[in-house]
Structure 1
């Protein structure tokens, strides 16, 4: 007992973390009792836990299950009675221990208290932070911890709904928990998915459905079928902010709003895949060669480029960026000759519009007209793709922005385009949530009436459907003026479409303005029972009320100064400010005169004495009171010091103010009409200017697109020219190498030719009359000399031929000399050879004739020398002459100029030989 007394004497915070579990348990119980007894949320009992919120971590993670149960009960009491700030400080320390230690407890009370604590943490603030604390617990290695956390998430969404608790973070991890090895985890994941389906329906499927196995999908579909029959869910628990708002609301509107917010049928419609999905960056993933492939001349390459783009944009939500170039390219694809390319481009536009939503509105003018122009396609699959693209683009804009293009294409020359545009307008009227303005309705009705006169039955029915849908929006009464001039058959057709049309926008009749309702005392105020008189100083004073006067005699009732009051358009009653009261009287019409005596006179304005002395005067009946501010003098045209108007014949005074007030109302109505006309005219001018500016913008966009195309074409041509220049440079280098090789070959041929000339000069060096010529044998060259010279020439020829053959094997062979060289070289070669027309051949005939003659020693040196020279010449001319050597050597040359030069040199040598022969003595 002494130990217990010592424990109870310890402070509460010390006992809270005591090593003995019973002491801790007693501390938890004592704290819970203190929290329940506190008068308000600022009681000192909360201060220790506000200053040190980590105390709740030790209580939630207590090692003793009995103490842990009491600790969670104390935490629930703390969250119920403490302030929201105190609960927010404890949230970070307590949520994770609760998820890891308490939700998996074997005690039902502990599990219930843990779940209640999590729901209270959400109630004092918002669900987001608690869900973020629970998500890391789903990665625990213990399956029971993961299953308990999934069960807690299911309860959170069941109590607060997906409108209060954001489902996106949990939907992302559903595929992971569905693939868990533990069956209990998979079962809790199924329960959580079913709870999501109660709130979100099919909008949640794009987030995780494709990552599930087919068997899991079929099992979930079976569970979803059971939920569909349950109806729409409702929010079961309210946040503190909602509770405070509910308390401030009137008694009759207590919880209805929150029940509707929490779970009416509209919520699953509002939450869709776009709201749940995260924006994905598509622009950075577009291939670099997308525009090049899209501009290819092969339709398959264009189709493949669009297929790649379709795979990128086929996501629930697209991150906004600059899609001008892509939409311009897709709009250009609408003119493609291949329908597969057109269909794929339309599908890409549809996905872009659905993925960007409101962010795509700025591109609608770029693609809508090309799509409508392509509606001439008769193939149904293409028409469906184009219609779906138009519908998706319309959802990003409004009917006002699209109406100009629609009315333009409703009068298109192509009937197919008319029909497609007509169907698109009907779909727009059915889906729009805003009631069109009167000008827009007039434009649509005018276009629909033109369709009623078409020769095609489809167009006529479409025009009637447009009129019936408009009638469903604005009502029959407002539509009747637009149907004037139509025959009964067409009106019946319009009525049929009106009865079957389903629209989302309906024009509600406006309630009449309060001024149009007759006030209760209107007729009494219209009699003008209180007059206005002029005092001596020219100041208006109220006249005495005619309450004492008999009802049968209303003439003495008005004071003698109603004349000036009638000029202002009304008598000024006492206690009323300005002209407001007469304006109300105008709507009630003229009132009978006897009603004015019943109105009590104001007590604060007694009539002066001098008024009674004046004779009673009736108001002038001959001239009605002018309008306020519209008479000749108006309010400023009459002096206040002027005496009363002269008497006139008696007449009932009541119609005078009534008629003046009606004129005032008419004047105001006319002014309002004029102002309305001016505003309408200004609106029409503004719309005209807007359409003009839009057309200029579109024209500038087209010019910009053409400039971009020209720039791209110029860049491609420059690249082609650069490629040609590189090739030309390489060809020039190859030609220079070839010229260098030919130059070396020419040098070699020159050396060979010089050697041949040297041999020829050596062969013809023996001339008659040289010193030391004593006899025929001594003075003339021998046969060995001729044979030696011939053999030398033959060797030179063979060396040159071998050189040419080596060049031919190395690939440097030249064209045949007979075909590539000039005619002079060909003929020169023949003449230089020992052919039939060769000079050497003729010389050989002479030598043969001379050889037939008898030889004598006395012939002398000249004859033999000539014969020997002719024999040597015939031998060399037939085979080894420089002419034949030069012809064989020049067979590898490409320059005909050099060949002609060599030929001329050979011809000159032949002429020299002939000259020597002619000068020889016979």
Structure 2
């Protein structure tokens, strides 16, 4: 007990964070009682918790469940009786511990207090920060925390509604919680989705519906069917700001009624839609690079596929605003496409763009509306429906005034199908518009509808009557009666039928004008009364004697004014009447006593016709005397009977005179107004024509630019092809020239080879010497001969040539220049080096010929060396010369013949190949 006494002596904030849970529990209970007894939110009891909001974090996260329960109760009392500043500071510290520790508690009282604390946090300020602090708990590892958080969100939206609490942050994460492994989490997600459906209806589906499984969609649809039978939901708890607004209202009942009505109107299905909930999506950046190329393709399938790809991009609830001018111009061009599938797809793309941009699409209306209206000539119903839906979507982004010029122009189109489609579009516009058209616009639509009543087609006649009936529903029967003059009873009855069945959204605004029309007459009456009132007020004493003296003042002015009545009429000429007002004033004021002796005389002879001329004279001076000449007015009070008596009877005549003048001025103003209205209408028509011409010129300019771009590209492509062709032609000419030179060489080589073959036959032993003599004139004709009767040098040359040819044939050398080199004398000797040994006498000859073919002493030395070497070899073999000479001679002749035939065949092949190459290059 001693410890308890010590604890109670501690300050409340110290006991709040004490290590003993009983002490903390008692501190929580004491704080709740203190908060309930405070007179207002400015009480000093709230100050410690406002200055140190971390105390609420400790209370919400208390380790003892009993103390935690009392801590949440103290928090609820603090939020209920405290101010907004303390609650906002406590929210930053307490919401997260409440969500993580208290919502999933096993104690029912703790759960209820936690939910109530969250609702109070929302009530004190706004629901947005509280929802943001709850959302991270949906990713918690413990399923019970996730389920409890979803239940708390359901309670927030159920009590405050989706108009007060923004549903978009929660709708984005609904697919994630629907895919949770725990069934309790999925059940709470279903409850939250049903609560959203109570407020949002079908507008919530585009946010998450496609991410759900089919079974989940079916389950939710079954739950939604139960909610559809209920009425529109209403906000059950109000924010502090809403409560203060109701308290400021004149009456609590009126304020509540106004609030409920406002909520009821706000929660209609048409008020909250997918556009308000969705986030804007970028479409321009996702358009394929080849979109415009495919859209301009000559194949309708490629054009349709390009439009289908665009439709998939723009088919979103909300589109981010960007430059869609080029896309809309391309879609408007598609309205003229010969394929109806392309036209239908383009119309659907326009519809999605208009719905996704809403008011942002108004600047593109002039680009697409006229092409769509022109395409209404299509008789196929599916195409007409797509075009009508596109027109309706475009109209929702603008208003009737902007679209009326195009509609009126196409109502007189030569194609009846276009007329009918435009007429139906105008009826839909009149039904959906919320703004009452102006009088000139109504007059224009009525005239167009009257023209439709005389059409030969029944559909057009009914459409004209429907337009008139819908307009009558908007402006009322009384205002429409003037427009229906001249129609027969049958047509009027038809218009009345459509009037009774028409449904419009525009409010009837012609009702305010009647009070405005009544206002001017009272002003005139009040003005006339005010002119008379000052005279009567300033002369109160004359009011009593005025009755017996009423006939007396009448003759005085009649006698004084007859001479003025003759020169000019007072009704027709205002200036003389106004100028003549001053003379009677002076006369009446200068001689006031003249009227008294004349009173008895004119009593029997007063006439009503004489009084009107006196009325303006008597009425006009009164205000001038009373206002501008106070002294004279004081003198006239001595005998007030004269001015006061005519004041009463002539007042209607004076007002009638003023109305005549005003009527004349009014007629002039009306005529001027009509002229101005006509000029305005003419200028509008001219403006519309100029706009249409400008639009046509823009379209033509765009098409010309596209055509010019294509022509330039085609010209560049052809120039590139021409350059390539020229280069190929030059290369072919060079190849042809080279082959021609090669052919000439081959011909010369063939001639030489044939001459050589003709001189080396077995029957002409002396011809080799001639050939060698031609090639090497310094060669010794009498050299050393072998036993076969042939010179040794010729035999060696033939052997060298044959061995070189055989080696090249074995190596696969079939190149064109090699046979030519073998045929020419210089190269023939040079080519024999490969077959000659080191001791071959031809080596010296070839080496000398390679250096200088024009030196004869090289040949002589070669001949001497070859002759000496041949002689030494012949001397060394004298023993068996008789037996070897005949056989070696025959073999050399045969070998020479074989070499010659092979060379000739190869030359023929080379000639054929060269001719073939020449022909192919020439072609």
TM normalised by structure 1 equals: 0.73
Can you give the 5+ residue segments of structure 1 that lack an aligned partner in the other structure? 533-540, 565-608, 771-781, 813-875, 899-922
2:259 maps to: 258
Q: 1:897 to 1:311 in 2, by over 3 A?
A: closer
Q: How does 1:625-704 map to 2 (within 5 A)?
A: 652-663=649-660, 665-666=662-663, 669-670=666-667, 673=670, 676-677=673-674, 680-681=677-678, 683-684=680-681, 687-688=684-685, 690-704=687-701
SS in 2 for 1:505: coil
Q: Output the CA distance in 1 between the equivalents of 2:308 and 2:138.
A: 38
Q: Output the CA distance in 1 between the equivalents of 2:240 and 2:11.
A: 33
Q: 1:892 to 1:50 in 2, by over 3 A?
A: same
1:452, CA displacement in angstroms?
2.1
Deviates more, 1:479-488 or 1:70-79: 479-488
Q: Output the CA distance in 1 between the equivalents of 2:505 and 2:652.
A: 51
2:857 maps to: none
1:623 maps to: 613
1:444, CA displacement in angstroms?
1.7
CA distances 1:827-864 after superposition (whole Å, capped 9, x unpaired):
xxxxxxxxxxxxxxxxxxxxxxxxxxxxxxxxxxxxxx
2:545 maps to: 549
Among candidates 487, 494, 515, match of residue 512 of structure 1: 515
Q: Output the CA distance in 2 between the equivalents of 1:515 and 1:369.
A: 45
2:21 maps to: 21
Q: How does 1:735-814 map to 2 (within 5 A)?
A: 735=732, 738=735, 742=739, 745=742, 749=746, 752=749, 755-756=752-753, 759=756
Q: 1:321 to 1:19 in 2, by over 3 A?
A: same
Q: How does 1:5-44 map to 2 (within 5 A)?
A: 5-44=5-44
Q: 1:454 to 1:462 in 2, by over 3 A?
A: same
1:353, CA displacement in angstroms?
0.9
2:138 maps to: 138
Q: 1:671 to 1:358 in 2, by over 3 A?
A: same
SS in 2 for 1:482: coil
Deviates more, 1:651-660 or 1:736-745: 736-745
2:577 maps to: none
Q: Output the CA distance in 2 between the equivalents of 1:549 and 1:628.
A: 18
Give the structure with the higher percent helix: 2
SS in 1 for 2:503: coil
SS in 1 for 2:494: helix
Q: Output the CA distance in 1 between the equivalents of 2:745 and 2:213.
A: 85
1:625, CA displacement in angstroms?
6.1
1:301, CA displacement in angstroms?
1.1
1:159, CA displacement in angstroms?
0.9
1:135, CA displacement in angstroms?
0.8
Aligned residues: 771
Q: 1:100 to 1:665 in 2, by over 3 A?
A: farther
Q: Output the CA distance in 2 between the equivalents of 1:94 and 1:36.
A: 20
Matched, 1:731 2:728: yes
CA distances 1:312-354 after superposition (whole Å, capped 9, x unpaired):
1111111111111111111111111111111111111111111
CA contact (8 A) 2:740 2:918 kept: no
Deviates more, 1:486-495 or 1:727-736: 727-736
Q: 1:80 to 1:664 in 2, by over 3 A?
A: farther
SS in 2 for 1:236: coil
1:387, CA displacement in angstroms?
1.2
1:188 maps to: 188
2:850 maps to: none
Q: 1:612 to 1:372 in 2, by over 3 A?
A: closer
Q: Output the CA distance in 1 between the equivalents of 2:285 and 2:181.
A: 37
1:83, CA displacement in angstroms?
1.8
Q: 1:103 to 1:624 in 2, by over 3 A?
A: farther
TM normalised by structure 2 equals: 0.73
CA contact (8 A) 2:528 2:655 kept: no
1:99 maps to: 99
Matched, 1:83 2:83: yes
Among candidates 702, 709, 712, match of residue 709 of structure 2: 712
Q: How does 1:153-552 map to 2 (within 5 A)?
A: 153-251=153-251, 253-264=254-265, 266-508=267-509, 509-510=511-512, 511-513=514-516, 515=519, 525=529, 528=532, 531=535, 542-543=538-539, 545-549=541-545, 551-552=547-548
CA contact (8 A) 1:472 1:506 kept: no
SS in 1 for 2:87: helix
CA contact (8 A) 1:123 1:240 kept: yes
SS in 2 for 1:512: helix
1:730, CA displacement in angstroms?
6.7
CA contact (8 A) 1:452 1:461 kept: yes
1:57, CA displacement in angstroms?
0.6
CA contact (8 A) 1:526 1:658 kept: no
Q: Output the CA distance in 1 between the equivalents of 2:546 and 2:148.
A: 93
Q: 1:728 to 1:376 in 2, by over 3 A?
A: same
Q: Output the CA distance in 1 between the equivalents of 2:559 and 2:914.
A: 134
